[in-house]
Amino acid sequence: MTNSKSGPPGRCSPGGWRRCLPLLHLIPRGAIDADAHARMARFFAGGKLGLTMARAWLRAAGAGRLFNVRAVREADLALQRLRFAPRLLRAAGFRGWCILLDEVELIGRYSPLQRGRSYAEFARWLGLEKSEEIPGLVTVAAITSDFHDEMFTRRRDDELIPPRLEERGMQQQAVMARKGIEWLERHQTALNRPDPAGLGRSLEKIGRLYHDVYGWAPPATDVGPLLGSGSLRQHVKSWITLWDIERLYGERPGIEADTIAIDYTESTDIEQATIAPDDDESIG
């Protein structure tokens, strides 16, 4: 497991605020209806928002001339959202934004070039490059313990991947990829195996949460047979699976656990990406 923070909360760049302000200008003025609010929320969450519609909202609010609203490339918009979201959360009274990245080891199944891009993006999320810091963002990433040996000892990604990016003229991404790889090589924190007392406390707490969510009290449950080798995640998953089956079907199942080897075989299927057209469908 790795974690990092992108620096203390600070000011959005002027360009970032110019792109955030048009929509934020509308919210407290009651200038848009519930459907527009929902569209705006989907946009902040990663959806698209038509440029024509946004301009119409601003004109209706008498703010058509206040902002220079224009289309931007989807790739640029993704970074703007990433910088904007922590500011929005702080404005709503929260301390910032915590991102949990699971199964980072899936990077190992990408092609070499895509692995390089992924290492670079990983470094961005962790705030490892000063020029790429995201104020108010904290990132925690989970990764398997054998990733280091597979990717850096056997495949030598630390030696081969950054030069491959440089050969393609991707100098900044090569710099970021090196930082991401170095972090994965040197800064992982191994999680301790859960002890009986800790498992008991976790079982009790998760049982209460389950009751709060479903209004159904889980029956008395043993910690389980995984104490010697199982991770906390395996325990939690087994408890919730057991409770789900009993709550939905009225049956008390038996659960067996088996270790599945991590597959690092390169697969083009999992790195398919949709590239949005650079048109007027995305507001900036």
**Which H helix or E strand runs over 11?**
none
- Band (pLDDT 50/70/90 cuts) for residue 158 is very high
- Band (pLDDT 50/70/90 cuts) for residue 247 is very high
Tens-place pLDDT, residues 251-264: 888 777 677 788 89
Cβ(140)–Cβ(101) below 8 Å? yes
Residue range 106-118: mean pLDDT, rounded: 95
Distance CA 193, CA 188 (A): 16
DSSP 5: E
- Band (pLDDT 50/70/90 cuts) for residue 180 is very high
Write the burial class of residue 217 (CB in 10 Å: 0-12 exposed, 13-18 middle, 19+ buried): exposed
Residue range 38-62: mean pLDDT, rounded: 85
Instruction: Decide if pLDDT at 2 tops 70.
Output: no
Cβ(270)–Cβ(110) below 8 Å? yes
The residues, ordered by sequence, that sit 6+ positions from 224 with a Cβ below 8 Å of its Cβ are: 199, 230, 235, 238, 239, 255
Residue 282 three-state SS: strand
Instruction: Decide if pLDDT at 13 tops 50.
Output: no
pLDDT at 8: 44
Instruction: Decide if pLDDT at 28 tops 80.
Output: no
Cβ(242)–Cβ(253) below 8 Å? yes
Residue range 184-205: mean pLDDT, rounded: 88
> What does the mean pLDDT of the chain come to?
82
Cβ(284)–Cβ(71) below 8 Å? yes
Whole-structure pTM value = 0.71
CA-nearest of 156, 153, 114, 125 to 7 is 125
Give residue 65's identity as a one-letter amino acid code: R
Two tokens at 28? 């407290």
pLDDT at 129: 85
Instruction: Decide if pLDDT at 59 tops 60.
Output: yes
**Residue with structure tokens 């200038």?**
31
- Counting residues of the chain whose pLDDT is more than 90, the rounded percentage is 38
Domain residue ranges in the chain: 8-94, 98-190, 196-249
pLDDT at 225: 58
Residue range 12-23: mean pLDDT, rounded: 52
CA-nearest of 263, 242, 66, 230 to 150 is 263
Residue 139 three-state SS: strand
